Each structure stands twice: as C-alpha cells, then as structure tokens.
Amino acid sequence: MKICITTSGKDLDAQVDTVFGRARYFLLVDSDTLEAEAIENVPGAHGAGVQAAQAMADRAVGIVLTGNVGPNAFQGLTAAGIQVHIGAKGTARDTLAAYKAGTLQTAGDPTSQGHGGGQR
Amino acid sequence: MRIAVASGKGGTGKTTVAVNLALSLSAEESIQFLDCDVEEPNAHLFFNPNFDAVLSVDKLLPQIDPDKCTRCGACVEACEFNALAIMGDNVIVYDSLCHGCGRCGLVCPTDAISEIPHQLGIVESGTTRGFAFAQGLLNVGETMATPIIHALKRKIDPSKLSILDAPPGTGCPMIAALHEANVALMVTEPTPFGLHDLKAAVEVARTLDVPTAVVINRAGIGNDQVERYCNEENIPIVLTIPFDRAIAESYAIGTPLVDAIPSWRKQFIKLAERLREVAR
C-alpha cells in the first residue's frame, strides 16, 4: 500500500505539513518497505485541493495522512477510494507510527473550510 | 464620462458619495447609476428604484456524458482552474471552481462534454428619480462576482455620465468595476486602516491607468496621514465630509445627504467639476 504523508521536507524525518492541497511535499511511503519518495507540490492559483487529490489518484495512493483536508480535496479523495487520516503532527516517521498505532483520526468530513482547500 | 467610486477599505462611504453625487448631478445632466457592489448592493436603499428588466447572468458548466467519456484526462489537463478530476471511474466537475470558459469541451476527443447554463446572479435595471439605475446581485453561495459586473457594465450608455459604485477591496470585482473608468473617486477615512487600503486601491487604479481623486469621509477622526499621502502622491482631495451626527442619522434612516441637508448639493456639483479636470 502506498501511503502519502504531507511534509515540509523530503524524507521521513521531515516535519509534517498540516495542509493537504498546498503542502510543500507529498512523501509517498511504501508501507511494507518504508521506502520514501518525495514529490514537490506545485499548486496552481486555483483548485489546489483538487489538483493534489488528482495527483494522489494518478499515483495510486491508498492512504493520505495529513493535518487537515478541505472540501474539494476530500470529495476527490473519497471518490478515488483513498482513505484520509487527519491530525498528523511531528515528523513523517511519527505520523506513520501514529497511523499504525491507530491514533490518527479518520476524516469523515472535510476538516477545514479553506478557499477551496486546506488552510494553515 | 465614467466615474468609478471605490475605496479599498469597506464602509468608508462609497455608496454615500456615489448616491449623493448622482442626485446632485441628475438635476444638471443625463446620468445613470450602476451599483457594481454585487455581493451587497445597497444604493437601492436610498433610491427605491422601479425595476422593469431582469437579466440572468449564467456560466456554462460542463456536463459529461459517462458513456462517451473515455476517462482520458484531456479535460483535467486543460482546465486552468482544476475544476475537473478523474478519480477511478468517476469524473468530478467542481462547479464552484469552474469559470465556464469551455476549454474542456474543446479538447475532449470524444465529444462527451456539453454545457449547461448555471445562474450566478442577476442584473436588475430600471429608473429612479429621473435617471437610469441598474444593479448586479450575486446569488448566495456563488463566488464569481466579475461576470455579473461585466454584464452590468454592458448597460453603460456612453452618451450619459455613468456613476459606478464599485465593490470594496482590491480584488477581481473591484478591478472589473474600475476597468475603463475615466476617473476613480477613492473614498477613504483618515485612519491608518483607511490609508493602508487607499494605497492599495490607488495602486490598482494606476495599474489600470485610471486617474484618481480622493474624498476624505469622517474627517476629524484619526490623523493627517491620508492628507500627507495624497499631497506626496499628487492626488487631489476633492471633498472632505466631516464626522457629523446629522450626516450619520440621515444615512441610518436611508435619506440621502443632499435630501436631508440640501446645502451639500453644491459641494457634490463642485466635486464633479474637479473630477472632470482629473478624468482621462
């Protein structure tokens, strides 16, 4: 399973970026091997949440771990069958551990209003 | 001549100035009034106009035929506003992000996209007190104000003096109202907030190559920074309205200042003369 963690740096020791659509990086982690690949996020002026959700679907991500997720992104991720867990903090490694321990919250609704996306 | 009354900061007295300018000038020449503050038009409260025409302002939203669509992603790629997404077998159209440009339909290789009109708001037009009045009204829940302002501006009759009450701020709606005006009349209050937003509004006008003049409203509060700024920037201060209880009271009951205190009429006529000198 491919897990995406929104981060402000390029590896598992980077701090989590708590927004989804306008996160600095998407750290794609293989849940079996813990191999991590960072993708720089270059959001456009409009619809960053949708753009980010599309990027997740295109890369066959199964789970997103982030701080907050806006309504447009949430709708897209849900339609793609991607699980969204929120309330991530600390490093990407901490977040992965928290997810495995089941302490992250499952997003049932968008968690930030945003200008069409997640806000800081 | 086209006069846009703008401010930057909200609540400085744009509508007060625009309404009283219109009433003062309508006795002298043929004018029209356009309330471009389509998110919250309020000039009608002072004019009680009779509307005789309503125009629907729509944007065209893509409608995707799931049987014809091959999920190729060409539309997603083409959309400047990220209003489309393909999630597995689902094609999602984000209505609120769509600007109705039609590019998705043009690039679709299987002709799966048709367009359906979606109402953004309306333009109402009619008359009040001997002149033409029109206003735009954005529907609740919609965010795109500029198409309504553009539709409203198509009501401009170049043979008349047009007064446009612009939206506050310095964003797209304000720019849409100021674009192609002969002069921007900036209404401000002499406070640090007033000055901060005035500067931003003046920058917008300069970028649009629209000359500016300033009205200081609620003079007597705050400080002299606005005056100093205007002097430094060579922006004429064409009217000063004092912070006065009688003026506030007339506003609060919906009576235009020039009706409540008719001596103000000649101040607004003088203001218009100054504007003609500044206008381009």
In this predicted model, what pLDDT tens digit does every residue of B216-266 receive, in sequence order? 999 999 999 999 999 999 999 999 999 999 999 999 999 999 999 999 999
Contact in structure between B175 and B14 (CB atoms under 8 Å): no
Domain range holding B272?
2-57+121-278
Question: Do B106 and B206 reside in the same domain of the chain?
Answer: no
Cα separation of B231 and B78, whole Å? Answer: 48
Cα separation of A9 and A17, whole Å? Answer: 9
Per-residue pLDDT, averaged over B67-94, amounts to 94
CA B87 to chain A, closest CA, distance in angstroms equals 5
Could you tell me which residues come within 8 angstroms of residue B137 by beta carbon, excluding any fewer than 6 positions away? B38, B41, B121, B122, B123, B124, B148
Dihedral, CA atoms, B61, B65, B66, B67, nearest 10 degrees?
A: -170
Contact in structure between B53 and B126 (CB atoms under 8 Å): yes
> Among A54, A58, A61, A64, which would you mutate to test the B interface (most chain B Cβ atoms within 10 Å of its Cβ)?
A54
- The whole model's pTM is what? 0.82
Per-residue pLDDT, averaged over A102-119, amounts to 69
pLDDT at B180 over 60: yes
Interface contact B87-A54, CB threshold 8 A? yes
Structural domain includes residue B26? yes
Domain limits, chain A: 2-106
**Whose CA is closest to B62, among B29, B88, B85, B45?**
B85
Structural domain includes residue B116? no
Question: Do B6 and B102 reside in the same domain of the chain?
Answer: no
Nearest CB to A116: which of B76, B85, B96?
A: B96
Question: Do B22 and B82 reside in the same domain of the chain?
Answer: no
pLDDT at A14 over 80: yes
pLDDT at B149: 98
**pLDDT, tens digit (0-9, with 9 covering 90-100), for A30-72:** 999 999 999 999 998 889 999 999 999 999 999 999 999 999 9
Beta bridge pairs of residue B84: B93
Nearest CB to B88: which of A46, A51, A57?
A: A57
CATH number at residue B77: 3.30.70.20
CATH number at residue B39: 3.40.50.300
Question: Do B71 and B207 reside in the same domain of the chain?
Answer: no
Cα separation of B227 and B215, whole Å? Answer: 10
Cα separation of B16 and B1, whole Å? Answer: 20
Q: How many folded domains does chain B comprise?
A: 2
pLDDT at A112 over 90: no
- Interface residue A117 vs chain B (CB under 8 A): no
CA–CA–CA angle B273, B275, B280 (5° rounding): 125
Question: Do B174 and B192 reside in the same domain of the chain?
Answer: yes
Question: Do B94 and B210 reside in the same domain of the chain?
Answer: no
CA–CA–CA angle B25, B243, B37 (5° rounding): 55
Nearest CB to A76: which of B80, B85, B96?
A: B85
Structural domain includes residue B84? yes
* Distance separating the N- and C-terminal Cα atoms of chain B: 9
CA A13 to chain B, closest CA, distance in angstroms equals 30
Nearest CB to A75: which of B79, B84, B92?
A: B92
Residues 25-44 of A with CB under 8 A from B: 44
CA A47 to chain B, closest CA, distance in angstroms equals 5
Q: A43: nearest CA in chain B?
A: B82
**Whose CA is closest to A68, among A1, A26, A6?**
A6
Could you tell me which residues come within 8 angstroms of residue B196 by beta carbon, excluding any fewer than 6 positions away? B8, B9
- Check whether domain A2-106 has CATH 3.30.420.130, yes or no: yes
Interface contact B85-A44, CB threshold 8 A? no
pLDDT at B66 over 90: yes
CA A16 to chain B, closest CA, distance in angstroms equals 25
Cβ-Cβ contacts under 8 Å, A76 against chain B = 85, 87, 92
pLDDT at B88: 86
- Interface residue A79 vs chain B (CB under 8 A): yes
- Interface residue A80 vs chain B (CB under 8 A): yes
Q: B99: nearest CA in chain A?
A: A46
Per-residue pLDDT, averaged over B37-44, amounts to 96
DSSP-assigned letter for residue A17: P
Question: Do B33 and B160 reside in the same domain of the chain?
Answer: yes
Q: What's the whole-number average pLDDT of chain A?
A: 91
ipTM above 0.90, yes or no: no
Q: DSSP 3-state assignment of B248?
A: helix
Question: Do B75 and B182 reside in the same domain of the chain?
Answer: no
- Interface residue A70 vs chain B (CB under 8 A): no
At A67, give phi and psi (nearest 5°).
-85, -60
- C-alpha B18: how far from chain center: 12
Distances (CA, A) of B127 to B58, B134, B138, B165, B253: 24, 8, 20, 16, 21
Question: Do B210 and B143 reside in the same domain of the chain?
Answer: yes
Question: Do B93 and B51 reside in the same domain of the chain?
Answer: no
DSSP-assigned letter for residue B219: E
Cα separation of B146 and B133, whole Å? Answer: 19
Band (A108; pLDDT cuts 50, 70, 90):
confident
Backbone CA torsion sign across B267, B272, B277, B280: positive
Structural domain includes residue B245? yes
* Distance separating the N- and C-terminal Cα atoms of chain A: 28
- C-alpha A10: how far from chain center: 14
Strand order in the sheet with B50-64: B50-64, B113-128, B131-138, B31-35, B161-165, B2-6, B183-188, B212-219, B237-242
Interface contact A44-B80, CB threshold 8 A? yes
DSSP-assigned letter for residue A109: S
Structural domain includes residue B140? yes
- Interface residue B172 vs chain A (CB under 8 A): no
Nearest CB to B83: which of A47, A57, A77?
A: A47
Q: B87: nearest CA in chain A?
A: A80
